[in-house]
């Protein structure tokens, strides 16, 4: 276009100009030139500064300090220029703003001010933008909580006490007319030295940048800082505020890697961060209205760190944690939208709220809080206290925390832990020595497996281990836990619970208790577990009720603590014995005796002392067993006998087990004890029993006695010794008080009230063996053995048999078959003097006593004091009643034969000899006699014997008594004959009685061709004195014709005589008048003869 104008100009001739036109044209050109130069100058000055001359700098200083409401400005070098938008620009170096009154201020390396150009044309200095750099600010928080920024923003106001005041002052600054055109401000390379006199801590914020932008009526502030903490780590902090109107806007902060404890001291809502040892990142957001900051929303993102209450407590490490919350300063309330933490232990996420406790030492910190949390889920996979994972759901709880000293009051925490409802409450305080606390917990119901997952491993670890190993299943109800600890002292635990449907292995080698119902109690260091109902299944399939059993650990704090089990069992006897066959008891195994064949019920009480440790040996277990066995029945326990017992008592210890009480064997009552030592292998057991010795009881034991030989009842004591691989030995003793014993064969009896001693020892072998049979009773003493064969009794061998004073020998009773009387072999010495006394008055004995075959081999059969038979041999195959032959020697001399019949009072002895003289001689009746046959009949009478003697054709020599009579009668020739070939007696007869030492002659006669005699009277064999009377008839062959009128042995003519005195000095007297008295009248010259009963 410019070219076209020039061409047109060239084509036309220039007009003629007037002078005014030339002047106007020159002025116009000058103006355009000036504008062109100014434009060139502006273009050159755009975004460029030029130094200000000193006079102008001084003038500028006066202008900047002309407003007394603003801080005093001092600066060094000054530059001017134009901004990119051609607004005037002033740059001051080494600038200092200070308070005219206090002198406090702030320094900047450079200040760049862009002034609104149009306003400057009207004489107004209106900053458009402001840029500061290289600032060092000393910021302090005073002890009262107010802030000192080190420079004034408004006159006479160098401190603010709250964020609201800071933001309000900022808004007022930008609302001033002087700064109404200020669009932006920026502060670069800011260094803030922040000193907090409330916490006595200091920080350095370096490399900071602050900026402010105004758009229409809104103002945006932004600050970014790098924080150098005490640990040398670098953190970043970003602050912003967006004002949307007077007193309204949004503000916030963003930070990264900031120490939690540095942030804790900045707000009441963050005091709890003092317990976090670590760095965190996050942001804060808040709305401001009516000049007041409202609720604060926060996001905190924690890195790895620790939760620590102080050096007195153990820290808890975490790998990451986050929380979202809103803080309402008016209500001092934290609303926690989410709080989560992860660590090596596990993870937890919660929500809730906290009510801060104000009134602490600082207005910017709280003294505590009341925290309410709801946990949807928390997973703890591995913790120092629990080896098994914990799953926490539906948890809600309230905790009151006081920070100084750190105190926790847990009002109530309710949760599901591993599916189990749990509630906790408690109180804790951190002291210089550590935590002091008391806590209470309650679980309505929990299964045994969950218990192990909830039971802390370090809490009563021995009891916990026992519980885990021995409680197989079950449900625990109404579980309460009270745990208390004073710092520096051991924790004290108190707990109680109920359980049901439990399976508990109460000892290592014992079966489990099933369907257990009961309760447990922890009290300090003692643990008690009580079973109300439950049973064990024994190896034989039976059930043993264990109601009332308890377990007690007196001191669970000790290593391998001692435990005491008080077990009570009730069940069948085979079931109980099957249980007792387990270690440590092994009673049936050790005793080699099972009682599966015994029916009945048993009640046991066992106190067991052991230790809760691995590898407990049976020898390390002590126990005390007591019990009762009821309603016992068995057909095998006592072979061949039916055994019953109403109640037996069972006792046991590691070294001994006993069963005692009263029972019946084949309906025979007894009271006894079975004992088994257990201290070593193969120790013998022992049975002792007391029972009534009666015909019925002996018959039940296959001991059959003759009818009537035992009546009544006496207490007997039986002992059995039972050893392994050996026959059972036994001993039976009794004092036999209460029984009447009677033996027809021995003519002996014992009254019931009389005491005797019976002892029987033997072996229950096959066949049975009795090694000792001993009886000591008044009138009877015996000792011997009893031999058996496979089918039963073989023989009774009595090596010593003493019956009263009439028998001292030995006897053998030989069994001859069923229902056949035993055969008796008797040897020794027999005194018939006492036998007759014992046998008197019992004529029915022969008919009531079963016949017993017997053979006698007697060394001595005493008939009187001076008369006995030796080498007596007798065989009574039909028994005493049937009688039989016998033979022997009179006083060890001449042999005799005889026949015995009857027994008792009906006993009869008929003795014969072919040497009657020898018998008379050996009997001591005559010194010399020979020849003749003798028949002697004896029968017991009273305490002696009645006898009748008949001797034929015996010749008597050397008879001093007869010789003295003949001399007294002056009979010539007969004494010489007596001294010579002797006097022959054709017949000697007599009846007499032998009673110990008294020999009574009722009547006697001796008749021969030369002499006849009759005689009666007494002979005292003990004192050897005679008191005899009779008639001596010489020449009896002729004189005897008159004997029909006199006694036998007396003739018509005879001499009455008397023989009296000792044998050594015998006095013979003859009445001569009797010679002239007929025989029938001789009785007037003699006394009455002894009368035979």
CA 662 to chain centre: 30
Please answer whether residues 418 and 451 qualify as being in contact, where contact means their C-beta atoms are separated by less than 8 angstroms: no
**Model confidence pLDDT, tens digit, residues 933-947:** 989 898 887 767 888
SS3 256: strand
Q: Which two tokens stand for residue 783?
A: 């000792």
What pLDDT was estimated at residue 264? 82
More confident residue, 928 or 840: 928
Residues in the chain: 1093
What pLDDT was estimated at residue 1085? 57
Among 893, 931, 930, 887, CA closest to 912: 887
For 62, 440, 460, 489, the CA distances from 495, given in Å and listed in that order, are: 85, 9, 12, 19
What pLDDT was estimated at residue 4? 47
More confident residue, 571 or 873: 873
More confident residue, 927 or 425: 425
Q: Which two tokens stand for residue 424?
A: 């906790």
Alpha helices by DSSP H, 897-994: 916-922, 960-968, 974-979
CA 346 to chain centre: 39
**φ and ψ at 128, to 5 degrees?**
-100, -40
**Model confidence pLDDT, tens digit, residues 878-891:** 776 677 888 898 88
What pLDDT was estimated at residue 352? 92
What pLDDT was estimated at residue 152? 42
**φ and ψ at 1081, to 5 degrees?**
-105, 10
> Is the model's pLDDT at 694 over the cut of 50?
yes
> Is the model's pLDDT at 767 over the cut of 60?
yes
What pLDDT was estimated at residue 724? 74
What pLDDT was estimated at residue 963? 55
**Model confidence pLDDT, tens digit, residues 698-722:** 776 666 666 778 899 998 888 888 7
> Cα–Cα distance between 944 and 801 in angstroms, integer?
22
Pairing relation of β-strands 127-141 and 184-196?
Answer: parallel
Average pLDDT over residues 756-763: 87
> Is the model's pLDDT at 285 over the cut of 80?
yes
What pLDDT was estimated at residue 442? 92
> Cα–Cα distance between 957 and 235 in angstroms, integer?
162
What pLDDT was estimated at residue 572? 82
DSSP state of 197: T
**Beta-sheet strands, E only, within 666-698:** 668-677, 685-693
User: Residue 639: which pLDDT band, with cuts at 50, 70 and 90?
Assistant: low
Angle at 668 between CA 663 and CA 672, to 5 degrees: 40
> Is the model's pLDDT at 220 over the cut of 50?
yes
What pLDDT was estimated at residue 844? 42
> Cα–Cα distance between 378 and 738 in angstroms, integer?
86
> Is the model's pLDDT at 2 over the cut of 60?
no
What pLDDT was estimated at residue 157? 45
Among 225, 296, 295, CA closest to 256: 225
> Is the model's pLDDT at 129 over the cut of 60?
yes
What pLDDT was estimated at residue 845? 42
Of the segments 71-75, 268-272, 553-557, 771-775, which one has the largest average pLDDT value?
771-775
> Is the model's pLDDT at 8 over the cut of 70?
no
Q: Which two tokens stand for residue 1004?
A: 């006697």
User: How does DSSP assign 305-334, residue by residue?
Assistant: EEE-S-TTS--EEESEEEEEEEEETTTTEE
More confident residue, 764 or 110: 110
> Is the model's pLDDT at 848 over the cut of 60?
no
More confident residue, 7 or 434: 434
Share of the chain above pLDDT 70, in %: 81
User: Residue 156: which pLDDT band, with cuts at 50, 70 and 90?
Assistant: very low
Query: What is the Cβ-side half-sphere exposure of residue 224, based on CA atoms within 13 angstroms?
Result: 7
> Is the model's pLDDT at 431 over the cut of 60?
yes
Please answer whether residues 300 and 278 qualify as being in contact, where contact means their C-beta atoms are separated by less than 8 angstroms: no
Angle at 329 between CA 323 and CA 335, to 5 degrees: 35
Among 204, 233, 209, 212, CA closest to 135: 209
> Cα–Cα distance between 793 and 359 in angstroms, integer?
109
More confident residue, 100 or 801: 801
Cβ burial, residue 222 (10 Å; 0-12/13-18/19+): middle
User: Residue 783: which pLDDT band, with cuts at 50, 70 and 90?
Assistant: very high
Contacts of 970 (CB under 8 A, 6+ apart): none
> Is the model's pLDDT at 207 over the cut of 80?
no
The strand pairing partners of 599, in sequence order, are 633
What pLDDT was estimated at residue 149? 63
> Cα–Cα distance between 834 and 944 in angstroms, integer?
7
> Cα–Cα distance between 1051 and 839 in angstroms, integer?
40
Average pLDDT over residues 477-500: 87
More confident residue, 43 or 188: 188
Stretch among 116-130, 258-272, 431-445 having the lowest mean pLDDT: 116-130
**Model confidence pLDDT, tens digit, residues 1018-1035:** 888 778 888 888 887 776
DSSP state of 146: -
Please answer whether residues 316 and 300 qualify as being in contact, where contact means their C-beta atoms are separated by less than 8 angstroms: no
> Is the model's pLDDT at 1006 over the cut of 80?
yes
| Helices vs strands, H then E, count in the chain | 17, 62
More confident residue, 570 or 164: 570
User: Residue 153: which pLDDT band, with cuts at 50, 70 and 90?
Assistant: very low
With residue 15 as reference, give the H or E element that holds it.
Answer: none
**Model confidence pLDDT, tens digit, residues 786-836:** 887 777 778 888 899 888 777 888 988 888 877 777 788 888 988 776 665
The strand pairing partners of 447, in sequence order, are 475
Average pLDDT over residues 859-875: 83
> Is the model's pLDDT at 1063 over the cut of 80?
no
Average pLDDT over residues 369-387: 84
Q: What is the mean pLDDT of the chain?
A: 78
**Model confidence pLDDT, tens digit, residues 29-83:** 666 655 665 555 555 555 567 788 888 888 878 887 877 777 788 888 888 877 7
What pLDDT was estimated at residue 438? 92
Average pLDDT over residues 1003-1013: 82
Q: Which two tokens stand for residue 573?
A: 């006897």
What pLDDT was estimated at residue 292? 83
Please answer whether residues 427 and 410 qualify as being in contact, where contact means their C-beta atoms are separated by less than 8 angstroms: yes
SS3 260: helix
Stretch among 423-437, 465-479, 887-901 having the lowest mean pLDDT: 465-479
Average pLDDT over residues 346-366: 79
> Cα–Cα distance between 484 and 494 in angstroms, integer?
8
Of the segments 84-98, 263-277, 323-337, 900-914, which one has the largest average pLDDT value?
323-337
What pLDDT was estimated at residue 1032? 78
What pLDDT was estimated at residue 27? 62
**Beta-sheet strands, E only, within 197-269:** 201-215, 218-228, 234-245, 248-259
> Cα–Cα distance between 764 and 784 in angstroms, integer?
17
**φ and ψ at 33, to 5 degrees?**
-65, -40
C-alpha torsion sign, points 75, 80, 84, 86 = positive
> Cα–Cα distance between 92 and 81 in angstroms, integer?
12
More confident residue, 125 or 254: 254
Angle at 107 between CA 101 and CA 110, to 5 degrees: 135
């Amino acid at each position: 276009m410019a070219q076209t104008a020039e061409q047109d100009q060239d084509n036309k001739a220039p007009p003629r100009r007037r002078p005014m036109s030339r002047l106007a044209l020159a002025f116009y050109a000058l103006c355009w030139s000036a504008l062109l130069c100014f434009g060139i100058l502006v273009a050159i000055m755009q975004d460029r500064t030029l130094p200000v001359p000193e006079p102008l700098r001084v003038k500028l200083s006066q202008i900047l300090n002309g407003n007394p409401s603003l801080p005093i400005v001092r600066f060094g070098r000054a530059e001017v220029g134009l901004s990119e938008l051609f607004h005037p620009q002033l740059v001051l170096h080494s600038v200092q703003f200070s308070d005219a009154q206090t002198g406090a201020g702030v320094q900047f390396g450079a200040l760049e001010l862009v002034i609104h150009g149009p306003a400057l044309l009207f004489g107004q200095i209106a900053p458009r933008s402001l840029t500061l750099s290289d600032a060092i600010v000393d910021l302090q928080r005073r002890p009262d909580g107010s802030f000192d920024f080190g420079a004034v923003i408004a006159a006479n106001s160098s401190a603010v006490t709250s964020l609201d005041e800071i933001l309000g002052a900022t808004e007022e600054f930008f609302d001033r007319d002087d700064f109404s055109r200020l669009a932006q401000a920026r502060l670069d390379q800011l260094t803030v030295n922040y000193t907090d006199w409330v916490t006595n801590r200091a920080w350095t914020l370096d490399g900071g940048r602050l900026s402010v932008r105004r758009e229409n009526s809104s103002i945006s502030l932004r600050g970014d800082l790098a924080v150098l903490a005490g640990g040398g780590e670098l953190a970043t902090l970003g602050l912003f505020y967006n004002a949307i109107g007077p007193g309204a806007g949004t503000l916030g902060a963003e930070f990264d890697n900031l120490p939690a404890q540095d942030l804790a001291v900045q707000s009441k809502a963050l005091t709890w961060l003092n317990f976090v040892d670590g760095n965190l990142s996050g942001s804060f957001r808040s709305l401001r209205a009516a000049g007041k900051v409202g609720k604060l929303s926060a996001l905190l993102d924690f890195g790895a760190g620790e939760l620590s209450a102080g050096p007195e407590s153990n820290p808890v490490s975490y790998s990451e944690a986050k929380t979202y919350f809103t803080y309402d300063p008016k209500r001092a309330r934290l609303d926690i939208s989410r709080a989560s933490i992860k660590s090596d232990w596990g993870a937890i996420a919660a929500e809730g709220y906290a009510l801060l406790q104000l009134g602490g030492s600082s207005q910017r910190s709280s003294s505590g809080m009341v925290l309410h949390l709801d946990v949807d889920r928390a997973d703890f996979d591995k913790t120092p206290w629990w080896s098994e994972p914990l799953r926490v759901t539906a948890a809600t709880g309230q905790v009151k925390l006081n920070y100084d000293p750190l105190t926790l009051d847990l009002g109530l925490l309710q949760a599901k832990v591993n599916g189990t409802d749990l509630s906790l409450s408690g109180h804790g305080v951190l002291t210089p020595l550590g935590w002091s606390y008391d806590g209470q917990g309650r679980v309505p119901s929990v299964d045994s497996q969950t218990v192990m997952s909830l039971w802390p491993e370090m809490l009563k670890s021995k009891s916990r281990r026992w519980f885990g190993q021995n409680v197989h299943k079950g449900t625990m109800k109404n579980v309460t836990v009270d745990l208390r600890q004073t710092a520096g002292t051991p924790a004290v635990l108190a707990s109680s619970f109920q359980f049901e449907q439990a399976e508990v292995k109460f000892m290592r080698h014992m079966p489990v208790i099933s369907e257990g119902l009961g309760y447990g109690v922890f009290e300090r260091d003692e643990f008690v577990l009580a079973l109300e109902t439950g049973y064990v299944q024994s190896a034989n399939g039976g059930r043993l009720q264990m109601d009332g059993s308890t377990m007690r650990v007196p001191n669970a704090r000790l290593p391998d603590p001692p435990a005491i089990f008080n077990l009570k069992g009730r069940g069948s006897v085979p079931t109980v014995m099957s249980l007792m066959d387990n270690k440590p008891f092994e009673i049936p195994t050790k005793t080699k005796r099972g009682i599966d064949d015994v029916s009945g019920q048993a009640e046991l009480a066992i106190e067991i002392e052991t230790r809760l440790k691995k590898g407990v040996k049976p020898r390390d277990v002590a126990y005390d067993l007591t019990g009762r066995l009821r309603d016992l029945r068995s057909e095998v326990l006592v072979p061949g006998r039916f055994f019953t017992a109403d109640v037996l008592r069972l006792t046991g210890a590691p070294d001994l087990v006993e069963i005692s009480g009263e029972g019946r064997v084949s309906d025979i009552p007894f009271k006894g004890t079975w004992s088994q030592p257990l201290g070593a292998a193969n120790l013998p057991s022992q049975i002792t029993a007391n029972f009534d010795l009666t015909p019925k009881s002996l018959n039940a034991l296959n001991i059959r006695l003759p009818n009537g030989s035992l009546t009544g009842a006496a207490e007997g004591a039986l002992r059995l010794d039972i050893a392994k691989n050996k026959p059972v030995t036994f001993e039976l003793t009794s004092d036999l008080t209460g029984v009447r014993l009677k033996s027809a064969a021995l003519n002996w009896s014992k009254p019931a009230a009389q005491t005797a001693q019976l002892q029987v020892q033997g072996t229950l072998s096959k066949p049975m063996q009795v090694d000792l049979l001993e009886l000591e009773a008044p009138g009877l003493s015996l000792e011997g053995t009893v031999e058996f064969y496979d089918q039963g009794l073989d023989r009774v061998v009595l090596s010593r048999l003493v019956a009263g004073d009439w028998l001292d020998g030995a006897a053998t009773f030989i069994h001859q078959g069923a229902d056949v009387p035993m055969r008796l072999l008797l040897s020794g010495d027999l005194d018939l003097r006492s036998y007759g006394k014992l046998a008197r008055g019992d004529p029915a004995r022969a008919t009531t006593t079963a016949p017993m075959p017997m053979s006698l081999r007697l060394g001595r059969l005493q008939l009187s004091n001076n008369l006995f038979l030796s080498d007596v041999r007798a065989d009574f195959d039909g028994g005493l009643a049937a009688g039989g032959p016998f033979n022997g020697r009179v006083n060890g001399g001449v042999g005799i034969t005889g026949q015995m019949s009857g027994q008792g009072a009906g006993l009869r002895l008929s003795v014969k000899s072919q040497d009657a003289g020898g018998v008379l001689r050996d009997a001591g009746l005559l010194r010399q006699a020979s020849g003749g046959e003798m028949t002697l009949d004896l029968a017991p009478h009273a305490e002696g014997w009645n006898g009748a003697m008949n001797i034929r054709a015996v010749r008597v020599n050397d008879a001093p008594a007869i010789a003295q009579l003949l001399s007294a009668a002056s009979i010539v020739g007969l004494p010489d004959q007596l001294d010579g070939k002797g006097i022959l007696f054709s017949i000697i007869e007599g009846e007499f009685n032998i009673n110990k030492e008294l020999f009574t002659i009722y009547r006697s006669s001796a008749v021969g061709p030369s002499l006849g005699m009759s005689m009666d009277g007494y002979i005292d064999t003990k004192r050897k004195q005679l008191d005899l009377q009779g008639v001596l008839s010489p020449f009896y062959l002729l004189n005897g014709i008159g004997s029909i009128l006199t006694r036998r042995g007396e003739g018509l003519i005879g001499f009455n005589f008397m023989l009296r005195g000792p044998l050594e000095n015998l006095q013979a007297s003859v009445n001569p008048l009797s010679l002239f008295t007929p025989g029938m009248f001789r009785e007037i010259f003699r006394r009455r003869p002894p009368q035979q009963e």
